[in-house]
Amino acid sequence: MSSDSVEEWQEQLDVEKLVRRIRDTVSELRAGEFWQQWKNQLLVSTSPSRPSDSIKTEGQQEKDTEATVRQQLECVCYGLGSFSSCVSARYQLAMLLLLLDAGHIPLKDCALYDPAFTVAEKDILRELGLTVLTQNEEGKRLATKPTLFYLMHCGKALYNNLLWQNWNPHCLSLVTIIGNCFSGIRERTIERELKRDYSYISRAVDLCEERLLPCPSRLVDVFSDTAIITFPSDRLNKLPSSTWTDSPEPQYQHCSDLEIILKQTPVLDSPETGLS
Ligand SMILES: C[S@@+](CC[C@H](N)C(=O)[O-])C[C@H]1O[C@@H](n2cnc3c(N)ncnc32)[C@H](O)[C@@H]1O
Protein backbone atom coordinates (compact mmCIF):
# COMPACT_ATOMS: atom_id res chain seq x y z
CA MET A 1 0.00 0.00 0.00
CA SER A 2 1.37 3.47 -0.90
CA SER A 3 1.88 6.05 1.86
CA ASP A 4 -0.94 8.14 0.31
CA SER A 5 -3.44 5.31 0.56
CA VAL A 6 -2.30 4.46 4.12
CA GLU A 7 -3.01 8.09 5.03
CA GLU A 8 -6.45 8.00 3.37
CA TRP A 9 -7.25 4.73 5.14
CA GLN A 10 -6.16 6.23 8.48
CA GLU A 11 -8.30 9.34 7.86
CA GLN A 12 -11.29 7.16 7.03
CA LEU A 13 -10.77 5.21 10.28
CA ASP A 14 -10.56 8.49 12.25
CA VAL A 15 -13.77 9.77 10.66
CA GLU A 16 -15.58 6.53 11.45
CA LYS A 17 -14.25 6.62 15.02
CA LEU A 18 -15.45 10.19 15.53
CA VAL A 19 -18.90 9.56 14.04
CA ARG A 20 -19.22 6.56 16.37
CA ARG A 21 -18.16 8.74 19.33
CA ILE A 22 -20.75 11.38 18.42
CA ARG A 23 -23.46 8.72 18.22
CA ASP A 24 -22.36 7.28 21.60
CA THR A 25 -22.53 10.76 23.10
CA VAL A 26 -26.05 11.21 21.69
CA SER A 27 -27.08 7.94 23.42
CA GLU A 28 -25.45 9.02 26.67
CA LEU A 29 -27.27 12.37 26.69
CA ARG A 30 -30.58 10.81 25.67
CA ALA A 31 -30.41 8.53 28.73
CA GLY A 32 -29.87 11.48 31.10
CA GLU A 33 -32.77 12.95 33.03
CA PHE A 34 -31.77 16.50 32.17
CA TRP A 35 -32.28 15.83 28.46
CA GLN A 36 -36.02 15.31 29.09
CA GLN A 37 -36.14 18.77 30.66
CA TRP A 38 -34.32 20.32 27.69
CA LYS A 39 -36.73 18.60 25.33
CA ASN A 40 -39.81 19.79 27.24
CA GLN A 41 -38.50 23.35 27.36
CA LEU A 42 -37.83 23.29 23.62
CA LEU A 43 -41.32 22.06 22.86
CA VAL A 44 -42.97 24.60 25.19
CA SER A 45 -40.84 27.48 23.95
CA THR A 46 -41.35 26.82 20.25
CA SER A 47 -45.05 26.15 20.44
CA PRO A 48 -47.01 29.15 19.08
CA SER A 49 -49.52 28.86 21.95
CA ARG A 50 -46.92 29.05 24.72
CA PRO A 51 -48.25 30.08 28.15
CA SER A 52 -46.83 33.60 28.18
CA ASP A 53 -48.74 34.58 25.04
CA SER A 54 -51.98 36.45 25.53
CA ILE A 55 -55.11 34.43 26.28
CA LYS A 56 -56.48 33.09 23.04
CA THR A 57 -59.88 32.02 21.85
CA GLU A 58 -60.45 28.38 21.01
CA GLY A 59 -60.48 29.23 17.29
CA GLN A 60 -57.21 31.09 17.56
CA GLN A 61 -55.58 28.13 19.34
CA GLU A 62 -56.74 25.79 16.62
CA LYS A 63 -55.21 28.11 14.06
CA ASP A 64 -51.97 28.11 16.05
CA THR A 65 -51.83 24.32 16.10
CA GLU A 66 -52.31 24.26 12.34
CA ALA A 67 -49.59 26.87 12.06
CA THR A 68 -47.22 24.65 14.08
CA VAL A 69 -47.88 21.81 11.72
CA ARG A 70 -47.35 23.99 8.67
CA GLN A 71 -44.46 26.12 9.95
CA GLN A 72 -41.33 24.01 10.11
CA LEU A 73 -38.59 25.17 12.42
CA GLU A 74 -35.19 25.83 10.92
CA CYS A 75 -31.95 25.82 12.85
CA VAL A 76 -28.75 27.83 12.65
CA CYS A 77 -25.74 26.92 14.78
CA TYR A 78 -22.81 29.29 15.18
CA GLY A 79 -19.66 28.77 17.26
CA LEU A 80 -19.95 25.05 18.00
CA GLY A 81 -16.17 24.75 18.11
CA SER A 82 -13.82 22.02 16.96
CA PHE A 83 -15.70 18.88 17.96
CA SER A 84 -12.92 16.48 16.94
CA SER A 85 -10.51 17.96 19.47
CA CYS A 86 -12.80 19.52 22.07
CA VAL A 87 -15.02 17.30 24.23
CA SER A 88 -17.39 20.18 25.09
CA ALA A 89 -18.05 20.84 21.42
CA ARG A 90 -18.69 17.12 20.84
CA TYR A 91 -21.30 17.06 23.62
CA GLN A 92 -22.86 20.23 22.24
CA LEU A 93 -23.04 18.66 18.78
CA ALA A 94 -24.69 15.56 20.24
CA MET A 95 -27.20 17.79 22.06
CA LEU A 96 -27.90 19.65 18.80
CA LEU A 97 -28.70 16.34 17.07
CA LEU A 98 -31.12 15.46 19.88
CA LEU A 99 -32.79 18.89 19.69
CA LEU A 100 -33.23 18.59 15.91
CA ASP A 101 -34.85 15.23 16.37
CA ALA A 102 -37.15 16.44 19.15
CA GLY A 103 -38.13 19.56 17.19
CA HIS A 104 -38.72 17.54 14.00
CA ILE A 105 -36.20 19.73 12.21
CA PRO A 106 -34.79 17.94 9.16
CA LEU A 107 -31.00 17.64 9.41
CA LYS A 108 -30.53 19.51 6.12
CA ASP A 109 -32.46 22.47 7.59
CA CYS A 110 -29.77 22.94 10.18
CA ALA A 111 -26.95 25.20 8.98
CA LEU A 112 -23.68 25.44 10.90
CA TYR A 113 -20.75 27.79 10.77
CA ASP A 114 -17.60 28.07 12.82
CA PRO A 115 -14.33 29.36 11.38
CA ALA A 116 -12.61 26.77 13.60
CA PHE A 117 -14.07 23.77 11.72
CA THR A 118 -11.43 21.67 10.00
CA VAL A 119 -11.98 20.23 6.52
CA ALA A 120 -12.57 16.79 8.10
CA GLU A 121 -15.11 18.22 10.56
CA LYS A 122 -17.05 19.87 7.73
CA ASP A 123 -17.06 16.52 5.91
CA ILE A 124 -18.40 14.78 9.01
CA LEU A 125 -21.17 17.36 9.47
CA ARG A 126 -22.20 16.88 5.82
CA GLU A 127 -22.04 13.12 6.27
CA LEU A 128 -24.43 13.47 9.21
CA GLY A 129 -26.80 15.26 6.80
CA LEU A 130 -26.31 18.80 8.17
CA THR A 131 -25.66 21.91 6.06
CA VAL A 132 -22.29 23.60 6.42
CA LEU A 133 -22.28 27.33 5.66
CA THR A 134 -19.38 28.61 3.61
CA GLN A 135 -19.76 32.30 4.48
CA ASN A 136 -19.00 33.98 7.78
CA GLU A 137 -22.32 35.68 8.54
CA GLU A 138 -20.97 37.20 11.78
CA GLY A 139 -24.27 36.05 13.31
CA LYS A 140 -26.28 38.46 11.13
CA ARG A 141 -28.91 35.96 9.96
CA LEU A 142 -32.39 37.36 9.30
CA ALA A 143 -35.13 35.06 10.59
CA THR A 144 -37.79 34.79 7.90
CA LYS A 145 -39.28 31.61 9.41
CA PRO A 146 -39.37 30.32 13.00
CA THR A 147 -35.71 29.59 13.65
CA LEU A 148 -33.81 27.95 16.48
CA PHE A 149 -30.40 29.57 16.92
CA TYR A 150 -27.96 27.34 18.79
CA LEU A 151 -25.06 29.44 20.05
CA MET A 152 -23.29 27.62 22.86
CA HIS A 153 -20.85 29.73 24.88
CA CYS A 154 -20.37 32.16 22.01
CA GLY A 155 -18.89 35.65 21.95
CA LYS A 156 -21.32 38.44 22.90
CA ALA A 157 -20.97 40.06 19.47
CA LEU A 158 -22.59 37.02 17.80
CA TYR A 159 -25.73 37.38 19.95
CA ASN A 160 -25.69 41.15 19.56
CA ASN A 161 -25.40 40.94 15.75
CA LEU A 162 -28.22 38.40 15.59
CA LEU A 163 -30.47 40.65 17.68
CA TRP A 164 -29.59 43.71 15.57
CA GLN A 165 -30.46 41.93 12.32
CA ASN A 166 -33.85 40.91 13.70
CA TRP A 167 -34.62 44.06 15.68
CA ASN A 168 -38.35 44.36 14.99
CA PRO A 169 -41.37 42.63 16.58
CA HIS A 170 -42.06 40.36 13.61
CA CYS A 171 -38.55 38.92 13.20
CA LEU A 172 -37.78 38.68 16.93
CA SER A 173 -40.96 36.68 17.47
CA LEU A 174 -39.54 34.12 15.01
CA VAL A 175 -36.28 33.80 16.93
CA THR A 176 -35.58 31.18 19.61
CA ILE A 177 -32.05 31.09 20.99
CA ILE A 178 -30.38 28.31 22.93
CA GLY A 179 -27.24 29.90 24.29
CA ASN A 180 -25.77 31.98 27.07
CA CYS A 181 -28.44 33.40 29.29
CA PHE A 182 -28.70 37.17 28.65
CA SER A 183 -29.31 38.03 32.31
CA GLY A 184 -26.05 36.20 33.16
CA ILE A 185 -24.23 38.23 30.50
CA ARG A 186 -25.67 41.41 32.05
CA GLU A 187 -24.50 40.38 35.52
CA ARG A 188 -20.96 39.65 34.33
CA THR A 189 -20.49 42.74 32.16
CA ILE A 190 -19.85 46.31 33.26
CA GLU A 191 -23.16 48.08 32.63
CA ARG A 192 -21.63 51.03 30.76
CA GLU A 193 -19.76 48.67 28.41
CA LEU A 194 -22.76 46.43 27.82
CA LYS A 195 -24.87 49.46 26.85
CA ARG A 196 -22.15 50.95 24.64
CA ASP A 197 -20.88 47.81 22.86
CA TYR A 198 -23.70 45.29 23.07
CA SER A 199 -26.74 47.55 23.20
CA TYR A 200 -29.06 44.96 21.63
CA ILE A 201 -28.28 42.40 24.35
CA SER A 202 -28.68 45.13 26.95
CA ARG A 203 -32.14 46.01 25.57
CA ALA A 204 -33.19 42.41 24.88
CA VAL A 205 -32.77 41.30 28.50
CA ASP A 206 -35.93 43.16 29.46
CA LEU A 207 -38.08 42.04 26.55
CA CYS A 208 -37.15 38.38 26.20
CA GLU A 209 -38.28 35.38 28.18
CA GLU A 210 -35.47 33.16 29.47
CA ARG A 211 -35.83 29.66 30.79
CA LEU A 212 -32.64 28.30 32.30
CA LEU A 213 -31.76 24.82 31.06
CA PRO A 214 -30.52 22.31 33.63
CA CYS A 215 -26.95 21.10 33.60
CA PRO A 216 -25.54 18.15 35.56
CA SER A 217 -22.40 19.03 37.53
CA ARG A 218 -20.20 16.67 35.50
CA LEU A 219 -21.11 18.63 32.33
CA VAL A 220 -20.80 22.10 33.78
CA ASP A 221 -18.13 23.15 31.26
CA VAL A 222 -20.39 22.09 28.42
CA PHE A 223 -23.87 23.32 29.29
CA SER A 224 -23.49 25.86 32.12
CA ASP A 225 -25.30 29.22 31.98
CA THR A 226 -27.48 28.04 29.10
CA ALA A 227 -31.03 29.21 28.58
CA ILE A 228 -33.73 28.97 25.98
CA ILE A 229 -34.59 32.52 25.02
CA THR A 230 -37.76 33.61 23.23
CA PHE A 231 -39.44 36.91 22.40
CA PRO A 232 -43.17 36.60 23.09
CA SER A 233 -45.18 38.67 20.58
CA ASP A 234 -47.57 39.97 23.23
CA ARG A 235 -44.63 41.63 25.02
CA LEU A 236 -43.06 42.98 21.82
CA ASN A 237 -46.31 44.42 20.50
CA LYS A 238 -46.86 46.44 23.69
CA LEU A 239 -43.58 48.33 23.31
CA PRO A 240 -43.53 51.86 21.85
CA SER A 241 -42.46 52.05 18.21
CA SER A 242 -39.40 54.09 19.30
CA THR A 243 -37.98 50.79 20.67
CA TRP A 244 -37.34 49.71 17.09
CA THR A 245 -36.46 52.92 15.27
CA ASP A 246 -32.99 53.74 16.59
CA SER A 247 -31.20 50.55 15.61
CA PRO A 248 -27.79 51.18 14.03
CA GLU A 249 -25.57 48.31 12.95
CA PRO A 250 -23.10 47.43 15.75
CA GLN A 251 -19.55 48.65 15.07
CA TYR A 252 -17.53 47.49 18.13
CA GLN A 253 -14.91 50.19 17.69
CA HIS A 254 -14.27 50.23 21.47
CA CYS A 255 -13.85 46.44 21.84
CA SER A 256 -10.22 45.40 22.07
CA ASP A 257 -11.21 41.75 22.57
CA LEU A 258 -14.18 41.15 20.30
CA GLU A 259 -14.39 37.36 20.98
CA ILE A 260 -15.61 36.65 17.43
CA ILE A 261 -13.93 36.36 14.06
CA LEU A 262 -15.16 38.92 11.55
CA LYS A 263 -15.50 38.13 7.87
CA GLN A 264 -12.53 39.03 5.75
CA THR A 265 -13.06 42.17 3.74
CA PRO A 266 -11.71 41.78 0.20
CA VAL A 267 -8.48 43.68 -0.40
CA LEU A 268 -9.25 46.28 -3.03
CA ASP A 269 -6.77 46.70 -5.86
CA SER A 270 -5.15 50.09 -5.71
CA PRO A 271 -2.97 51.94 -8.24
CA GLU A 272 -0.07 51.99 -5.69
CA THR A 273 0.15 48.20 -5.59
CA GLY A 274 0.49 48.09 -9.32
CA LEU A 275 -2.52 45.74 -9.53
CA SER A 276 -5.34 46.69 -11.82
C1 LIG B 1 -15.74 30.33 23.28
S2 LIG B 1 -15.74 29.31 21.85
C3 LIG B 1 -17.03 28.16 22.21
C4 LIG B 1 -16.80 26.83 21.57
C5 LIG B 1 -17.73 25.72 22.08
N6 LIG B 1 -19.10 26.02 21.73
C7 LIG B 1 -17.56 25.51 23.57
O8 LIG B 1 -18.48 25.79 24.35
O9 LIG B 1 -16.48 25.03 23.95
C10 LIG B 1 -16.48 30.39 20.63
C11 LIG B 1 -16.55 29.79 19.25
O12 LIG B 1 -17.10 30.78 18.37
C13 LIG B 1 -16.45 30.62 17.12
N14 LIG B 1 -16.64 31.82 16.30
C15 LIG B 1 -15.87 32.93 16.28
N16 LIG B 1 -16.32 33.81 15.36
C17 LIG B 1 -17.39 33.22 14.77
C18 LIG B 1 -18.26 33.62 13.72
N19 LIG B 1 -18.09 34.77 13.10
N20 LIG B 1 -19.28 32.79 13.37
C21 LIG B 1 -19.43 31.59 14.01
N22 LIG B 1 -18.63 31.16 14.99
C23 LIG B 1 -17.61 31.96 15.38
C24 LIG B 1 -15.01 30.33 17.50
O25 LIG B 1 -14.27 29.76 16.44
C26 LIG B 1 -15.20 29.38 18.68
O27 LIG B 1 -15.25 28.04 18.27
**Does some domain include residue 59?**
no
Q: How many other C-beta atoms can be found within 10 angstroms of the C-beta atom of residue 216?
A: 12
Out of 88, 261, 262, give the residue to mutate to test ligand 1, the one with the largest number of ligand atoms within 8 Å of its CB: 261
The CATH number linked to 253 is: 3.40.50
**Does some domain include residue 20?**
yes
**Does some domain include residue 16?**
yes
Question: How many separate domains does the chain show?
Answer: 1
Q: Is the CB of 247 under 6 A from ligand 1?
A: no
**Does some domain include residue 157?**
yes
- Which atom of ligand 1 is least distant from the CA of 115? 25
Residue 225 backbone phi and psi in degrees, to 5: 55, 30
CA atoms within 13 A on the CB side of 266: 3
The span from the CA of 174 to the CA of 148, in Å, is 9
Domain holding 102, by residue range, is: 7-47+74-262
pLDDT in tens, 206-235: 999 999 999 999 999 999 999 999 999 999
**Does some domain include residue 57?**
no
pLDDT in tens, 99-113: 999 999 999 999 999
Question: What's the 114 CA to ligand 1 centre distance in angstroms?
Answer: 6
**Does some domain include residue 276?**
no
Question: Is residue 70's pLDDT more than 90?
Answer: no
**Does some domain include residue 269?**
no
